[in-house]
Amino acid sequence: MNGSNSVAEGWSRPYTPPVAKLMTAEQFIELPDDGHNYELVHGRLVEVAPSGFSSAQIGLLIGAELINFVRPRRLGAVTVGEGGYILTRGPDTVRAPDAAFVRAEHVPQGADRDFFVRYPPDLAVEVMSRTDRLRKLQAKCLEYLDAGVRLVWLVEPSHQRLTVYLPDRATRTLGITDTLDGGDVLPGFALPLAEVFD
């Protein structure tokens, strides 16, 4: 063996793949539009498939009901579809619930309105589509809770049911004959699920 080279002659060092650099929320928002939808999960891009008609319609309907309740009372703001919320930093996670409510003190102001909401929403709504897997959506709901979301609604259109997730991870399942309420997050909000699944 010769000099400081500790690798035996004729042998090479084992290949070590390069470590992929994690993306930040700031980098994520600057990505050019390639026609696909993404979320940022622990610094990595995850493609999100478009929703089917029924799921998209239900997400919009719930969002509209939230807007009609929140806006006149000046409680905050509601986003539908692609509104991004930063759930964690280092690595960054940015999720875009099908509908969400954020209370007034966390609504972005000024130049921040062109960026993601820097806080988790108070309420996040996920509507299951044909391409979704229930276990992944359930894990996503728990991820919301871990980030500080106070109320999560998981809607399953094909089964005409909605599961409510609370901060202590307790769940409550509602059917088409039940009425959804806003709990401590939106006291007084009420939506008969027959109107959602009609």
Position 7 scores a pLDDT of 47
Quick: pLDDT tens for 23-56: 999 999 999 988 889 999 999 999 998 888 999 9
pLDDT for position 20? 67
CA distance 65 to 138: 23
Backbone φ and ψ of 80, nearest 5°: -130, 135
Q: Domain for residue 191, yes or no?
A: yes
Q: How far apart are CA 23 and CA 45, in angstroms?
A: 8
Is residue 24 in a domain? no
Residue 184, pLDDT score:
96
CB-count exposure of residue 58 (10 Å: 0-12, 13-18, 19+): buried
Cα–Cα distance, 129 to 49 (Å, whole number): 9
Q: Tell whether 12 is covered by a domain.
A: no
DSSP-derived 3-state class of residue 100: strand
pLDDT recorded at residue 131: 85
What is the number of structural domains in the chain?
1
Is residue 79 exposed (0-12), middle (13-18) or buried (19+ Cβ within 10 Å)?
buried
Which ranges of the chain have pLDDT less than 70? Answer: 1-13, 15-20
Q: Which two tokens stand for residue 49?
A: 């498939």
Give 117: exposed, middle or buried? Use CB within 10 Å, 0-12, 13-18, 19+.
Answer: buried
Distance of CA 56 to the CA centre of its chain: 15
CATH of the domain at 185: 3.90.1570.10
Q: Is residue 165 part of a domain?
A: yes
Residue 73's pLDDT is: 97
Determine the pLDDT at residue 59. Answer: 95
Does residue 68 lie in a domain region? Answer: yes
pTM: predicted TM-score of the whole model, two decimal places? 0.87
- Domain of residue 170, residue span: 51-85+93-196
Q: Any residues with CB less than 8 A from the CB of 98 and at least 6 apart, and which?
A: 51, 55, 59, 62, 63, 80, 81, 125, 126, 127, 155
Whether 115 is covered by a domain: the verdict is yes
User: CA distances (Å), 27 to each of 19, 45, 118, 169, in order?
Assistant: 18, 11, 14, 32
Domain contains 168: yes
Q: 16 lies in a domain?
A: no
